[in-house]
Structure 1
Amino acid sequence: MKITAIRATPINLPIEAPYWWSFGWLPGSSRCVVEVETDEGITGLGEAASWQACAIIEQRLAPLLIGHNAHDIAGAELVCLPSWRGVSSNTDFAAIRAFAAIETALWDIKGKATGLPLYDLLGGAVRKEIAFADYFGFRQKKNGKGGELTPEAVADYCVSLKESFGTTIFEGKLCTKDPEPSIEALRLMRRKLGPEAVIRIDSNMAYSLTEARRIAARIEELDIRNWEEPCVTFEEMAALRRHTAIPFSGHNVDFQKAVALGVPDAFVTDVNVHGGIGRTVRFIGACEAMGIDFWCYSANTGIGSAAYLHLCAAFSHIREPNQSLFRMQPHDVVEEGVFAPVNNMVAVPEGPGLGVTLSKDKLAFCHKLFVEEGPYTQHHDPEEPGRYKRLPLR
């Protein structure tokens, strides 16, 4: 089976109402949907986390792969990423992440050609229902959605998720410049949701070590399941560890440093970061060997989300709930999306490959948003117009 064409389409994937994170107001993400066609009529689907991957795929990688055996995934990697070494690398990260979308599509092709779901290609399923957290944060109001701009409103929003969808696992932002509103929201959530609710927080590296120590002392009693990126560096997390028992997670995949320092306790990444499903599998195995947790992060279309679901189905070491913006995403590019947790769980797609079907109409709609709106900036702070935000904030 030969690769005959590779298409990369930039899209905008908005969320229903912008939320505040440490860089400003986040309106959604601009991504890249990849279609790999073959001479046997099978098309595989992939997703890159940045719209900028489209040019890399079409101009650099696609010409190298036309005519290549679609089943030869390892060979495709050698052709596209000849300098790639090991589980982590300081080589061309843009090319690595762009190739990951193609590599995912090749796994999708393999599944469709054999009639097997991706989890079977990875060794079989240990579970078929996958846990996800529902997201919360301070949100602007847009088209009748959002508007949770006070701690009380954030807590009430989480209560409404529990009442409507059975949500008991929550993850959200603790990254306001003044941490007091975020801390108060957590206090109200714990009081209103009860002791059984799982609450994880994400600071997106917003705080200095000094500020993070102060925050840790005030939220320790709230039984926080995990604190993602309270500070910028692993070294700062290691210093913070002496002041709190709250587990930490991070996106930076510096595995050797994490093992040496003993932090973070978990990596939260996606297939793009590692260069594809095959590399992600190896990374998960390394995490298991060293007792470091692993889960997947949010903001994908149904294509990337399906890849997460199959990985979680196949590997028992993914023990903690994944992140999810599902509830906040009004659009998707697959017929089966948007996935939405019920009682915290999402079923693994059972079709061959990724188990999802690209909707040409939905793809065209999200591409139209990209053309009309331009790529989204995730670093817009109205208090500092024209400035590209750097961290820490204080």
Structure 2
Amino acid sequence: MKITGIRATPVNIPLEAPMWWTGGYYPGTSKTIVEVFTDEGLTGLGEAPSTDVVDLIGAMGEALKGKNPIDIAACERVCVPPWQIVQNTDDARVVKAFGAIEIALWDLRGKAWNEPLCNLLGGKVREKIPFTEYFSFRPDREMSAEEVADYCVSMREVHGSTFFEGKLILGDPMLEVRTVKLLRERLGDEAMIRLDSNMQWSVTTARWVLREIEPCNVRNYEDPVATFEEMAQLRQHSIVPFSTHNPDLRRAVALGVPDYFVTNFAVLGGINRAIRFIGACEAMGVGFWCYSGDAGICTAAYLHVSAATQWIKEPSQSLFRWQVGDVIEGGPFRQRENVVDVPDGPGLGVAIDQEALAHWARHYSDHGPLDHFCDPSSPGRHRRIPLH
């Protein structure tokens, strides 16, 4: 089997309503969908977490024409410089670009051998994969502690959800504390509550917030401050675990924080490098779970790797409930009673919906990438949330 071409399609995946985060408001995500074509009629599907890699994926596609897609290591050598060089440059696009292609190559391998990806990775250690519901302050939806709590209660009643994670980001630490206390009161002791600050607090404010919410049994706080060094200061004052999207394992081990990494497989360079990274985390006692906001292709990769990897014990993040579309048939995924089944088809077990792909590609073409730094009351301007 030989690669005959690669197509990279930028798409938007909007949310039903934007949510506030430290940079402004977050209306959804823009992704690059990858299709790797072969001379045997099989097509592998991949996904990059951004659209700044479209041209680079196209160039890699030209370099990979005629190559054997089953030989993933050889394909990486064609596209990616020696890793010690990659790790010492400021441009991570080459890693993301090949990481998206590499996911597609694994999908092709599973299709060629008629096996689901999790079987290629050693088999399942779990049948169903847990995910959190998301909550946040959303304009015209939930803009108070009471409305956020009402929303989470409704998710429990309608979908059986008891795992929750969210951003309580309006620049007001007292509002965050009051909302967390109300969530614990309304959801009861058994519910999981995780928080994500997107680095909005100073060490001083974060210390106060953590002290106030510690009795609420918060499972994890993602990026409460801006750096690992500031997290290390906070660790002296709080037992609440911390997580981050910055996958710097060396610093985490040296400083003793964060406790978990939360990231995207393409960011790590693909499935193979993600598995090696997770194995290194296991050896160092650092936890791992998967990112949110992806389309169905990358989510399917999360499902298979989580199914085959014992170390991924915590629920991964999820914006499934809020995503208004997807590029896969039957998407987006939706959890029920906290879990999603692992697709049982060959490879990733998902198929591209060409009509949906064209629709969301037109959305990208018409509107450009979704801007995560906007003020909805002043289009074109960045929203400045006061930091404490």
TM-score, normalised via structure 1 length: 0.95
> 1-side partners of 2:335 and 2:226: how far apart?
31
> 1-side partners of 2:368 and 2:252: how far apart?
37
Aligned to 2:283: 289
Q: Which residues of 2 match residues 232-271 of structure 1 at below 5 A? A: 232-271=226-265
Query: Contact between 2:171 and 2:385, CA under 8 Å: does it hold in 1?
Result: no
- The one-character-per-residue Cα deviations of 1:300-353 (angstroms, maximum 9, x if unpaired) are 111000000001000010000000000011101101311111000000000000
Q: Which letter maps to 1:15?
A: L
Aligned to 2:143: 149
1:78/1:383 CA distance change after superposition, 3 Å: same
1:47/1:333 CA distance change after superposition, 3 Å: same
Quick check: 258-267 or 83-92, which moved more? Answer: 83-92
1:83 CA displacement: 2.6
Q: Which letter maps to 2:375?
A: D
> 1-side partners of 2:308 and 2:89: how far apart?
29
Aligned to 2:30: 30
Where 2:31 maps in the other structure, the secondary structure is strand
Q: Which runs of 5+ in 2 are unaligned?
A: none
**Is the counterpart of residue 365 in structure 1 residue 375 in structure 2?**
no
Q: Which residues of 2 match residues 1-394 of structure 1 at below 5 A? A: 1-58=1-58, 60-85=59-84, 90=89, 92-141=91-140, 147-381=141-375, 393-394=387-388
1:159 CA displacement: 0.1
Where 2:233 maps in the other structure, the secondary structure is helix
Q: Which letter maps to 1:49?
A: P
Q: Which letter maps to 2:203?
A: L
- The one-character-per-residue Cα deviations of 1:270-307 (angstroms, maximum 9, x if unpaired) are 10111100000000000100111000010011100000
> 2-side partners of 1:160 and 1:389: how far apart?
30
Counting aligned pairs with the same residue, the percent is: 53
Q: Which letter maps to 1:21?
A: W
Where 1:85 maps in the other structure, the secondary structure is helix
- The one-character-per-residue Cα deviations of 1:70-112 (angstroms, maximum 9, x if unpaired) are 1110011111012323996546411100111100000000000
Q: Which letter maps to 1:182?
A: E
Query: Contact between 1:107 and 1:118, CA under 8 Å: does it hold in 2?
Result: yes
1:381 CA displacement: 3.1
Query: Contact between 1:36 and 1:106, CA under 8 Å: does it hold in 2?
Result: yes
1:155 CA displacement: 0.3
Q: Which letter maps to 1:339?
A: F
1:360/1:157 CA distance change after superposition, 3 Å: same
TM-score, normalised via structure 2 length: 0.97
- Root-mean-square deviation (Å): 1.7
Q: Which runs of 5+ in 1 are unaligned?
A: 142-146
1:390 CA displacement: 8.9
1:174 CA displacement: 2.9
